[in-house]
Structure formats: C-alpha cells, structure tokens
Structure 1
Amino acid sequence: MKLKKWAALTLCGVLMLSMLTACQGDSTESESVVQSEVSSSVADPVQAAIQARKDSGEYPKLVIAFPTVTGRPAGADRIQEKLNAYTEEKLGISVELEIMDMASYPQSMTLMLSSGEQADIFNAVSMGYSACANKGYCLDMGEDNLLETYGANIMEVLNPLYIEASKVDGIQYGLPQNRDMASGQGGYVIPKRFLDEIGFDYESMRTEESSDYIYTDIETIDEIYAQLHEKYPDMHVFLPNKSSHLRNVLQYDGLGDNFGVLMDPLNTLEVSNLFESEEFLETCKRYYEWNQNGYISKDALTDTATPQEQIKAGTGISHLCALKPGILQSQEQATTLPGQPTEELVIFQVLDDFMNSGAINGMNWCINSSTEYPVEAMQVLNLLYSDSVAANLLAWGEENVDYVKTDDGHITFPEGVDASNAEFSHSVNWLFPNQYITEVWVGQELNVYEETEKFNDNSKKSKALGFSFDNSSVMTEYTALVNVQNEYINQIMLGFVEPEAALKEMNEKLYAAGLEKYMAEKQKQLDVWAAANGVA
C-alpha cells in the first residue's frame, strides 16, 4: 500500500537528518539526538508526516468532492482559499473543493472515480455506499492502521457503534457523520390557533419528557381531524407531502427502498413485501377514509405547493413530518408569514424515534482507493471531524461575510444578506463530517446538537443497522419496480382509490416486474451481512 511506502520514506528522511546532525557534534551527544528524534518520529507519525511536508515546502493538493442542492455556490472559491490556508497551516496540505449539484452528483462522481480523475475524498450520498465499496472505489481505512493512526480524533468523536456499522464485509470503507440519524416518525403538525378554536386540550397531554412533542395515538389524530373539518369545512385538514409521506406513516425498515422490507425491524431480519402487509393496508384505509371525508384536497396529486406554503396561504391546516431536535422551531419558521408573529405549532407523535438500516451509511465519507495521498486524505478528514474552524468554513462559510454571531451565541446572516443573495448558503451542513462542532443558526436552541446526539443514542434501532443493499445486480428489476410504484403509490396512499382493489392490482404488476427476484437478492445479501456481523 502507498501508506507503507510513505512511512518508510519519512523514517528514512528523519534518520538521514539525524545522522547529519550527529556528524556535527560530540558523538555521545549526537547518539542521544539520533535516538531521541527517531523515537519521536516513530512515536508520533502524525506530527512526523506534517513536519516532513512542511520541511519539503511542497504541499500535496487533495480534492474533496461533494454535492449541494444547487451546485457550486458563488462564494465557493473564497471558502476554498480560506480552507486551503488553514489546512496548509495545520497539516501542510492544500485542498480543492469539487462541488456538484445533487441531481447530477451520482453520475458525475461515478465518472470521476471510474476514470481516474482526482477526487481524493468524496461523499457517497445518493451513489450507494455498498455499491461504491463493491466497485472498488473506496480505500480500506483499516489497512495498516490508517484510521487508527491518522484519524485518532475521528475515533474519539464518532460513536463506536456507528463506526462499526459503517463497515462493508468487515472492512472500513467509509465513515458516517455526526448528525441526526434517527427519525421521529408519525409527527402530525397543527397550529395552536386551530386547536384552541375547537377547544382541544393538548396541554394536559404533555409529559415531562415531551416538551416539544405530545405522544399519542393515531385515533387521537382521527378525533382532532374530525373536529377541525367540522369547524373549518372549506379548508384542507390534512396536507400531504408526497415525497416523504410513506416513510413517515409506518415504522418499517425499507433496506434502501420499499421493495422488500423488514416489517418488524426491531426483532426480525425476514424480508417481506410492504405492499402486501396488513399494516400498510390498514394505513391506506385510514387515508382513504380521510379523503372521502373531505380532509384532503382533491388537487393533492398535482399540487406542488408545500404544506407550509398552504398553511401560510390559509388553505390548509395540518401535515405530517419527520421529527428531530429543533424541528418545532424549524416548522414554526417555515409556516410564519414575513413580518407576522410566530405561528405557534403543536406536534403530535404517534410512532417511535427510529433508526433504520441505512441511517448511518446513507452519506458516508470515503477516501478514493486510487488516491496518491492516503495519509494526507485521512489527516484532512481527521481535521474536518474534529476542528471547529474547518468544520464551520464548510458548513457556514466565512465569519462576518457569510454569517455573523449574535449576542446570545447564535449565528445569522449579516446585514443586507439573506438566502436569496448569500454567496455560501448551500443547505447541506448536515452532509459534512461533524455537525456537532459547528455554529447554531438563529431560531434553533443552542443545545440542539447535544439533544441530537441523545436523540440518536436513545432511538429504537433496526436489527439491520449498518446493512446497505447493493442492487447493481438487479438494477433492471429495480427500474421496473419504481415505475410500478410511481404509477400507484400516491393514489393509494392519499386515498383517491379504494385500497384493497388497487393494492391487488399494484402487487400483481410488482411481481411481474421482478419483485420476487429483487426481494430474494436483498434477503441473500442481508443474510450474508448478518452472519458476518453476528446478528441473529
């Protein structure tokens, strides 16, 4: 491995330097110097690597590749220059930021990796972490103790459970972030003013541990919606978010997609068909009833406005969202009209906080197996995971240019800057290695990251946590299955068709599209993973 070659060269350099020093002075004293310097270099290879680069005056350049929603921000060159100056000072390494848009990232990043174009560090988001590992794109971080030696800070800041769960076939091909990995499912969001108007006593339902959410059951939501519809017959009581609706209404582990899932993810690794389950049918029946009762807009299938936009417009009342620390404040901001008092919300949670199999490995940071600089790449990652200056540069940009600190310890836009004209506002600070050491944006509680860490640790976890399905061998079937799902899912889930008959038709098409083969491949890979990881 390149690491062994580098270590040998570094040690040779230190020995030669020491020998030259020995020739210039007393032999006894020189021997002591030699032994001291050699022992120091062997004992601290991290500092030896940094010092060797600085002494040479030649700083290797590393390319860090990742996506944002809209691509390379206008101020990216400026942030790259700032980060580059910092990594040169700290590590003797130059960096270049290769920033792509999220939509084209999988194809563009795959092309870079397969063609040999330089991309020393990359994020596997939307590419499939297991697929990247299986295609040979990812360096084994455990070989020659690369992670242990040059990523010691990473080992300290990441939960050991998450590091272990990010291995593929027992090999450390990538690392997860410190971010919200769990999801509070079944979160029904309703403005307080509507609940007050119908006289619903929500305050008595709060418990000591539920300061932001009220834990209840779906039957309570039925009751609330019936009263809201009676009071506001011309408004849409429930506003569906089609892109995230399915994963918020049921607690299951999709194992990367919805085609072969764990319906009892806390207790079993048996893969089954979600769309044939009794739980899915009962959920669809409920939404069918809501639709027939008039709770859902007849234009819901084609409406592109978000639930928050519809609440601000006065046409809708409630919606469903995934929960996490800080979500109440975020939702209140999103539903408040500019210049108006904050829209106070009540959130009812009817399911558990849950971490599915892909929560950890959905967007891992990897080192390119073809990099010429494995040691340097690990040291850069180590810095990004543990150094708040570097972390904030990537997450928020440059202080007093892209953001300013408030008197109470938050950050916000400088005067005259907002999301529309900010030069480094990318909305993917959750993608970077360690969100916990970055600044907190105004509107969130200052302890949001401490609460997020506890939220992750206390959530219920799938038995398949860390499993990542590689569907490259059944990609033809996957494409056909997605087409069938897209044809039916929103009509069924939002109650526009009678669910039993529609699900029967949908399942027939799914099996014709290759669902059985797809599920069998998923079960096979899951069984191999379980055996390798000692999961029974």
Structure 2
Amino acid sequence: MHGVKKILSFTLALATVVPFTLSGCTQSAPADATQSSSAASAASGESSAAPKETVTLKLMTGDKKIQGLDRVQKAVNDYLAEKNTGLQIDWETYSWDDLKQKTATMLQTGQEADIMNTSSWITPGYVAHCQRDEFTDITKYINDSQYQDVVNIIGKDFLDGTKVNGKYYGMPTNKEKAHNFGFLCQTAELKKLNIDPSSIKTMDDLAKYFDQVKADGLIPVCAAQMDSPYKFLDWDAFDADNSPFAFDPNDEKTIVNPFTADKTIAFYKEMKTWHDKGYFSPDVLTSKGQETDMATGKYFCGSWSLMPGKAQTESASLKLDLTQIDITPVEKTNRETLGALLAIPSSSKHPDEAFKFISMLYTDKTLINLMTYGVEGTDYTKKSDNVITVSKDSDFTSAGGWIMGNEFNNYLTDLQSPTLFTDIEAYNNSAKVLDDLGFVYDTSKCKTEYAACQAVVTKYYPQLFYGTCDVDSTVAQMKSEFKTAGIDTLLADVQSQYDAWVKSK
C-alpha cells in the first residue's frame, strides 16, 4: 500500500506542477493529497480483498503491430493479479490503418470488445461513432467521486472538449495539449548534406535536397494515408480527417471544403511533381502506416504532428536517430481534445471493469510504464528513479505513451530532455487558441450527406496527395461527385451550427 500511495502522490504532484488547462479557462483544482488510504486504493485499482471473479478485457490499440507483446502482456497481467484488481487484458495491437478497418467493422456489427483507441482522425472519427451510439456513455464514471483524481489529472475543461451532445464517451490521453506540424529527418543524412535544420522554414526548403537524398539511396519522403505533407497546409479540421469541412486558421468564420480549395489544388500539383521525381515510395498507396515504414530506415523524412521532444520520443520508438524541424505555428485545436482517446464500445459486457482499467492508466505509474516500455531488466534498465535506458536488444517496440493514459507518469529515456514536462507546459502556454475549440458538429440532420461526402474524400485523396493522377481532371471529377453527394447542404448545415454555437458562448 505504501508503494501505491507514492505513485498516487507523484501523480497528484505532477497534476499540480504541470497544469495543462486551456487558455482562458479556470485551472482544475489538484486532487486532495490527503485522501484516505481506502480512497487511494480505489483510485489505483487495488482491492484489499480478492475479487469474486476475474474479468479479461479485450484491449485494441493502434500505431503499430507491437513485437514482444505476449511476454509484456503476461507481465501486465501478473501485475494486475498481484494487486487483486480482478482484471486481466487480452491486448491486440494494429497499424492505424488496420485498426481503423478492424474497429469500424466491429462497431458496426456489434462484435464484442472492451477498450479501443479512437480519435478524430481514425475515420470515420470519434464523433461519428458516438453519434451512432457505438461507444458507451461514460458520463456516470466522470461524475463518480472515486474517479475525480483522474478527472483532475486530465483537467475538466480539457475533458469537456470530448463531449458529444452533452455526454462523455472517451478518455483523452493526458499529454501535450497543442500541436504544430513539421518534419522528422534522419540526422545522419542531414549532417551528410550539411543541412542546417534551423534554415528549413517551409516544405520547399527541405524538398530542394531530395534529389541528393535519392542519390544517397534513401526514399526522400515517408508518408501513408493522411500522414502526408498535406498537414503543412494547416487546415483547422475540427472533425474527422476525411470530413470535407474546415476553417483556415486565418479565417475562422467561414466553413470551406479544404479538399477543393485553391491552395490545396496547388498542393496536389506539387505532389504530382514529387511523385514524378520519385520522392515517394512506389508502394505509398498501399502502405499500412508511416511509423512502420519509417522504422525500416529506408526513408529520409516524414511529416509529423510535433511537440517538444518529439524527435527523441520517436527515435527511441523507431530505433533511429531523428531530428525535428518545426514548420507550422503552435495551435490549440479540437485535434488535441479528440486526438488520442480510449473508448468503451457499446458491445462491451464489462463497462465498469473497462473504465476501472482505463482509470489505472492515469494513476498507476507501474502499469503505464509496463505498457509503454516493457519489463525492467529485459526491455530497459533504470539510470535513476525516473530515467531509463531502452535496451537495444529488446524486441518490444511499443507505440509510446501518447496513445493512452497519463503520459506524464512515463519514465524519461536518457535520450529525452530532463525538462521535457516543463517544456511541454511552456509549449501549451505559447499556443494560439483557435476560435472553434470545443465545437462539435452534430451530423443528425445530414447523416446521408456527411457519409457520402466523406466517401468522396476517401476515394480521391490518396491519388491526389501522392501525385498518381492528372490533377485537373481528377479534381473536376471529385467536385462533381461532391455536388452529387450533397456538399452544399452539408457545408450550410455545419456553418449554421457553428454560427449558433458562437452566439451561445
């Protein structure tokens, strides 16, 4: 029990020291550090008495197919048994594309699962799943006194940004609460070509070196699905990534279709040039995931959502030496509130147990580090209480702590800055807060148009993003299909709801 109190005290202290709340909002009060030992036990998932039965939860996470999963899962389950939680996990991991396909089918058909990754960018998107009643309403847990420590760790204001029609359905990872886009590049190639990272301010600044990169035997750009240089256009896409409505951050009053906007069409034409010059992999249209491809070491760079220390985190995860180059401004958007969540499918027969496990990912430092870094002595060694060295011989390559729980309870690797958490606080505070933060589009009046227009995006974006088609004729055909799908009706409905939301604030 003493160890449990230490873990909880660390978490509560961190929630006090690193107050990641939205600008202009009231800071969430820290959890009461003097809570009773029984309350601490409930928060950490520990039970003083053996549970009546053990429940095995099916957990589905994304980013990559994790190696070494079986033995790490066994270590997790041994730990859960040692704490008398009454819980075990059956952990399945997938690339994001495979997770999207798998979970979409499961949710539509009601196949049983207990916990899964979701987000605004895993199409059809978190909001769409909520509005289809495919996720469990977790409002009662958010309001339950035994889980207020978790609410305080995340921050009530930030948690409120996940609401759909006034209800909570997902638990966002407690991590950075802003973003910008940029490149992650192989450090050795930057040095070989004498590229000063600070001199790269735009996508084109780096692209001028791509012919030399090719000559050195590397594929210049690693990209997959919507993880592409399209990000550098910096559209404020507040719904799913394949939803054809967004704001330009410089004009947050008018909803537009970003996929047919002039600056996007110019981007398509540049990507056509990149394709013709061989800057993408020949297999880019069938790639399963950017992380998986980049880890092969065959690519020079990729476009990433960034934060302080991103290069160090990805270097450890991908086992590459990477350098970070920031391109777009730092912003707080709905991408953060809906960017990485855990949800409980409506098909789950164990929602209470599922939420109990999810809550432990925020409060139990041992558990989250087991699932992030694996087993001490096999997958990493400790240099100090909170700093580790990841073993080069480890076959466990997890997605990292950003996909679930409380990332600020993660150990720091010896590749990361010791001031990482305070750097993230400063990063959050420096961000521009976009006007639509907290706005969620309700598709109920335009379900048909919404689905039909998303289907048009899904049909055309790969060939346009990666330059495998004639741009003008393809865009003309895409516009025609948008018209048939009801894009004008959809945009008008989104605009109407947004205008009403602004007036209500």
Cα distance in 2 for partners of 1:432, 1:488 equals 32
Match of 1:187 in 2: 183
Pick closer, same or farther for the CA change 1:258–1:215 going to 2, 3 Å.
Answer: farther
Match of 1:22 in 2: none
Asked if structure 2 preserves the Cα contact closer than 8 Å seen for 1:266 and 1:462, the reply is no
Pick closer, same or farther for the CA change 1:240–1:494 going to 2, 3 Å.
Answer: farther
When structure 1 is superposed on structure 2, of 174-183 and 52-61 the one drifting more is 52-61
Determine whether 1:106 maps to 2:89.
no
* Candidates 436, 440, 462, aligned match of 1:464: 436
Which residue identity does 2:407 align to in structure 1? Q
The runs of 5 or more residues in structure 2 that have no matched partner are 1-35
Asked if structure 2 preserves the Cα contact closer than 8 Å seen for 1:151 and 1:381, the reply is no
Shift of residue 185, structure 1, vs aligned partner? 1.4
Which residue identity does 1:78 align to in structure 2? K
When structure 1 is superposed on structure 2, of 166-175 and 264-273 the one drifting more is 264-273
Determine whether 1:321 maps to 2:315.
no
Match of 1:95 in 2: 87
* Candidates 270, 273, 293, aligned match of 2:257: 273
Match of 1:241 in 2: 223
Instruction: For residue 70 of structure 1, give the secondary structure of its aligned residue in structure 2.
Output: coil
Determine whether 1:385 maps to 2:362.
yes
Match of 1:18 in 2: none
Pick closer, same or farther for the CA change 1:520–1:235 going to 2, 3 Å.
Answer: farther
Asked if structure 1 preserves the Cα contact closer than 8 Å seen for 2:236 and 2:247, the reply is yes
Aligned length: 455
Determine whether 1:435 maps to 2:407.
yes
Instruction: For residue 247 of structure 2, give the secondary structure of its aligned residue in structure 1.
Output: coil
Match of 2:267 in 1: 283
Match of 2:65 in 1: 70
Match of 1:158 in 2: 154
Asked if structure 1 preserves the Cα contact closer than 8 Å seen for 2:309 and 2:420, the reply is yes
Determine whether 1:253 maps to 2:230.
no
Match of 1:17 in 2: none
Shift of residue 438, structure 1, vs aligned partner? 1.6
Match of 1:206 in 2: none
Shift of residue 195, structure 1, vs aligned partner? 6.7
Asked if structure 1 preserves the Cα contact closer than 8 Å seen for 2:223 and 2:302, the reply is yes
Which residue identity does 2:245 align to in structure 1? V
Shift of residue 398, structure 1, vs aligned partner? 3.2
Mapping 1:314-463, distance limit 5 Å: 319-329=302-312, 345=323, 347-366=324-343, 379-406=356-383, 409-413=387-391, 417-419=393-395, 422=396, 425-427=397-399, 429-463=401-435
Which residue identity does 2:60 align to in structure 1? F
When structure 1 is superposed on structure 2, of 476-485 and 382-391 the one drifting more is 476-485
Asked if structure 2 preserves the Cα contact closer than 8 Å seen for 1:85 and 1:94, the reply is yes
Shift of residue 46, structure 1, vs aligned partner? 4.2
Shift of residue 280, structure 1, vs aligned partner? 1.5
Which residue identity does 1:388 align to in structure 2? K
When structure 1 is superposed on structure 2, of 360-369 and 188-197 the one drifting more is 188-197
Pick closer, same or farther for the CA change 1:443–1:129 going to 2, 3 Å.
Answer: same
Determine whether 1:171 maps to 2:181.
no
Match of 1:134 in 2: 131
Which residue identity does 1:386 align to in structure 2? T
Pick closer, same or farther for the CA change 1:288–1:445 going to 2, 3 Å.
Answer: same
Cα distance in 2 for partners of 1:111, 1:484 equals 20
Cα distance in 2 for partners of 1:383, 1:331 equals 25
Cα distance in 1 for partners of 2:465, 2:51 equals 62
Asked if structure 2 preserves the Cα contact closer than 8 Å seen for 1:61 and 1:94, the reply is yes
TM-score (norm 1): 0.67
Instruction: For residue 74 of structure 1, give the secondary structure of its aligned residue in structure 2.
Output: helix
Q: Deviations over 1:478-511 (max 9, x none)?
A: 6655664455445444456664554334322332
When structure 1 is superposed on structure 2, of 387-396 and 450-459 the one drifting more is 450-459
Asked if structure 2 preserves the Cα contact closer than 8 Å seen for 1:410 and 1:441, the reply is yes
Cα distance in 2 for partners of 1:288, 1:300 equals 15
Which residue identity does 1:361 align to in structure 2? L
Instruction: For residue 52 of structure 2, give the secondary structure of its aligned residue in structure 1.
Output: coil
Match of 1:40 in 2: none
Cα distance in 2 for partners of 1:467, 1:397 equals 38
Which residue identity does 2:86 align to in structure 1? S
Asked if structure 2 preserves the Cα contact closer than 8 Å seen for 1:185 and 1:321, the reply is yes
Pick closer, same or farther for the CA change 1:231–1:427 going to 2, 3 Å.
Answer: closer
Cα distance in 2 for partners of 1:465, 1:139 equals 24
Shift of residue 380, structure 1, vs aligned partner? 4.2
Shift of residue 522, structure 1, vs aligned partner? 4.3
Instruction: For residue 214 of structure 1, give the secondary structure of its aligned residue in structure 2.
Output: helix
When structure 1 is superposed on structure 2, of 504-513 and 232-241 the one drifting more is 232-241
Pick closer, same or farther for the CA change 1:527–1:54 going to 2, 3 Å.
Answer: farther
Shift of residue 437, structure 1, vs aligned partner? 0.2
Cα distance in 2 for partners of 1:176, 1:299 equals 36
Instruction: For residue 98 of structure 1, give the secondary structure of its aligned residue in structure 2.
Output: strand
Cα distance in 2 for partners of 1:473, 1:418 equals 51
Instruction: For residue 106 of structure 1, give the secondary structure of its aligned residue in structure 2.
Output: helix
Which residue identity does 2:61 align to in structure 1? P
Which residue identity does 1:432 align to in structure 2? M
Asked if structure 2 preserves the Cα contact closer than 8 Å seen for 1:353 and 1:460, the reply is yes
Match of 1:210 in 2: none
Cα distance in 2 for partners of 1:475, 1:189 equals 41
Instruction: For residue 418 of structure 1, give the secondary structure of its aligned residue in structure 2.
Output: coil
Pick closer, same or farther for the CA change 1:170–1:306 going to 2, 3 Å.
Answer: closer
Pick closer, same or farther for the CA change 1:488–1:462 going to 2, 3 Å.
Answer: same
Match of 2:21 in 1: none
Mapping 1:201-220, distance limit 5 Å: 202=196, 214=198, 217-218=201-202
Identity %: 18
Match of 1:7 in 2: none
Q: Deviations over 1:394-433 (max 9, x none)?
A: 333333344432469214238xx432xx4xx442532221
Pick closer, same or farther for the CA change 1:264–1:62 going to 2, 3 Å.
Answer: same
TM-score (norm 2): 0.70
